Structure 1
Amino acid sequence: MRFTSTLLLLPSIALAQDQQPLADKVKGWFKQAQSYVQSVQSAAPSIPKVEVEDPVDAAASAAEAKLVHHLTLDNWQGILQPTAQSNPDEPEEWMVFINGANKTCYGMCERADKAWKEAVPLLSAQPSGPQLASIDCDAEQILCNSWAVGPPSIYVMLLPHVLPDQTKPQTTIYAVPLNRTTVTAMDINNIHAKEEYKKLTPYEGYFHPFDGLIAQYGLSVPLAHLMWGLAKMPSWLPMVAISLGTRTFMGRRTGRGNQPAPAQGGAAQ
């Protein structure tokens, strides 16, 4: 009798064991699915992540070898010369960016400086791109004074090769001003790409760095120092000097007028 009752209780015991909470069953199914996905991901080959490079960065990387020469009073004559790889039958194009900061540009050259930095990769990426150089007029005030240039601007120089008889043709220079508030990298790029500089008249004044009258007589640097000294002079000093000079001059003239007349000859007998 006891055996028979035990047999009758077996189905109810099994059913009690199978009656687990539904939430526990769902958690178990989720864990099984998660482990399966992880096993599949570990077995599948990893796909490398492809990054799209910015066009400007790509151009900068491709033109990394292109150097922007920083000109100073001591090195500019040695740098601004046709390179060995240029065509000896044609002048070589150079673009010189003339920049400044608080001293010479009164803090208004930041946009032009940013545009130049963005234009350098564009110019360098071109097969026939010009050689590049720059001048910081804040640091090289004497050099900028000797050229009589001010920021922001660009000098496009066509540097000729020395002829077989050791003579050198004249250097053609175009002075291209830059707008401080609107200039962009494309504006600077188009100076070369579209030859915008040829719309201007070549500079042939006294302060021409190579062929000007002042440079030919070797007076560029002394005159630049004089101009630099006058710029450093306080505004009141010339007025004081003029006032003292005027008073001295007028005092001498007044002194002569107050002198007694020379004695006349003796009275007639």
Structure 2
Amino acid sequence: MRFAPIVLALPAMAAAQQQFPLLDQAKGWINNFIGAATSNVNSASSAAASAASGVPNPVNAAAGKVEQLAVTQLTKENYAQVLKPGAATASPGIEDWMVYTTGGNRTCFGMCVRSDQEWSKAVSLFSAVPSAPQLARLDCEQEPQLCNAWGAGAPSIIYMQLPQPLPDQTTPATTVYFLPLNRTTVSAQDIVSIATDKTFKEKTPYEGFFHPFDGMLAKTGLAVPFGWVVYGFSIMPSWALMIGISFFSRTFMSKRMGPQGGAAPRPAAPAGRTQ
């Protein structure tokens, strides 16, 4: 009989023990709800900030299943066919091209690793930009002749605005900007901002000797041959260059300082007559 109260209290104790796990689960649900709401607010804030700056948010760009933009590999054989002024899709009359130049140990001294990584990220971001420029890549390690013909260094961005031909089939001048990239601090956002924020307009368009379309080399068709000449000198051993210079200078000086004709010897006087 003494155990009767204890026996009667067992159902109540079991019910109380079952309530505590329910309370713990309720707390967990509340915490999960708060965390999800905070995450949504942060995502919305990041998206708003990206929209205000004109640069797509990397998270949204990665989450959105957009088609990756094509990047054309430029070579000395195909660049004239690829970079044609005034493509049919150009609107309103100008087509923008962004050419990324890179290199290896010889042309970039092995310091293009970071810029290569950031360029790859920038290509993904450009895929979410409606008015993204056409993208191309120029490897100065594999195509040194073309880089020499354009006077392009690595890493850099060559931003081109290719105009459509006029009704009389004449082609207006092509606007080209050479934009060097910082090898240690460049970011994907910096590269994307060149097009989305038009930061390339902060620089002066290039109009010199190495202009890819309107320079003297391009107009005379000597751009690639000039690139080959510069490339030949770059791979020539220094000792061979010194020997060539020495040989040329000796030959030139020997011709200039050759033997000079002196006064002709006088003929001997005839022997006098003896008387």
Class of the TM-score when normalised by the shorter of the 2 chains? 0.7 to 0.9
SS of the equivalent of 1:206 reads coil
Question: Is residue 2:151 matched to residue 1:170?
Answer: no
Query: For 1:76 and 1:238, how far apart are their aligned partners in 2?
Result: 32
Q: Which residue in the other structure is 1:226 paired with? A: 229
Within the candidate set 51, 55, 60, 1:55 is matched to 60
Conservation of the 8 A alpha-carbon contact between 1:152 and 1:177: yes
1:177 and 1:254, CA in 2 relative to 1: closer, same or farther beyond 3 A?
Answer: closer
The one-character-per-residue Cα deviations of 1:153-207 (angstroms, maximum 9, x if unpaired) are: 0011001011121111110001111011110101101111111100000000111
SS at match of 1:105: coil
Q: Which moved more, 1:118-127 or 1:74-83?
A: 74-83
Aligned to 1:208: 211
Q: Compared with structure 1, are the counterparts of its residues 216 and 249 closer, same or farther at alpha carbon in structure 2 (3 Å cutoff)?
A: closer
Q: Which secondary structure state, in structure 2, belongs to the residue aligned with residue 115 of structure 1? A: helix
**Aligned 8 A contact 1:95 1:130 in 2:** yes
Q: Does the 8 Å contact 2:101/2:137 carry over to 1? A: yes
| Partners of 1:188 and 1:146 in 2: CA distance | 24
Q: Which structure would you say has the larger Rg?
A: 1
Residue 240 of structure 2 corresponds to 237
Conserved? CA contact 1:124–1:130, under 8 Å: no
Change (3 A) 1:144 1:58: same
- Which aligned pairs between 1:89-100 and structure 2 lie closer than 5 A? 89-100=92-103
Question: Aligned Cα RMSD in Å?
Answer: 2.4
Q: Which residue of 2 aligns with 1:262?
A: 264
% of aligned pairs identical?
A: 46
Q: Count how many residue pairs are aligned between Structure 1 and Structure 2.
A: 214
Q: Alpha carbons of 1:177 and 1:256: their partners in 2 closer, same or farther (altered >3 Å)?
A: same
Once the two structures are superposed, what CA deviation does each residue of 1:17-53 show, in whole Å capped at 9, x if it has no partner?
Answer: xxxxxxxxxxxxxxxxxxxxxxxxxxxxxxxxxxxx9
Measure, in 1, the Cα distance between the counterparts of 2:134 and 2:256.
63
Q: Is the 1:95–1:154 contact (alpha carbons within 8 Å) kept by the matching residues of 2?
A: yes
Of residues 113, 126, 130, the one that matches 1:127 is 130
Structure 1 unaligned spans of 5+: 1-52
Give the Å deviation of 1:266. 5.0
Matches within 5 A, 1:49-198: 54-59=59-64, 61-64=65-68, 66-81=69-84, 82-87=86-91, 89-198=92-201
* TM-aligned CA deviation for residue 262 of structure 1: 2.4
CA distance in 2, matches of 1:187, 1:160: 25
| Residue in 2 that maps onto 1:50 | none
Q: Secondary structure of 1:103's match?
A: coil
Letter in 1 for 2:182: N
Cα distance change on mapping 1:192 and 1:239 into 2, 3 Å: same
Shift of 1:84: 2.6
In structure 1, the residue matched to 2:41 is none
Q: Give the TM-score normalised by structure 1.
A: 0.72
Residues 114 and 251 of structure 1: CA distance in aligned 2, closer, same or farther (over 3 Å): same
Please give the secondary structure, in 2, of the residue aligned with 1:167. coil
| TM superposition shift of 1:56 | 4.2
Q: Which of 112-121 and 243-252 deviates more?
A: 243-252
Please state whether the residue corresponding to 2:136 is helix, strand or coil: strand
Give the Cα separation in 2 of the matches to 1:132 and 1:179.
20
- The 3 A distance-change label for structure 1 pair 244 and 80 is closer
Whether contact under 8 Å (2:153, 2:180) holds in the other structure is no
| Unaligned residue ranges in structure 2 (runs of 5+) | 1-57
- The 5 Å alignment of 1:27-66 reads 54-59=59-64, 61-64=65-68, 66=69
1:214 Cα offset (Å): 1.3
CA contact (8 A) 2:61 2:128 kept: no
SS of equivalent residue, structure 1 residue 174: strand
Distance 1:253 1:216, change over 3 A: closer
Question: What SS does the aligned partner of 1:104 have?
Answer: coil
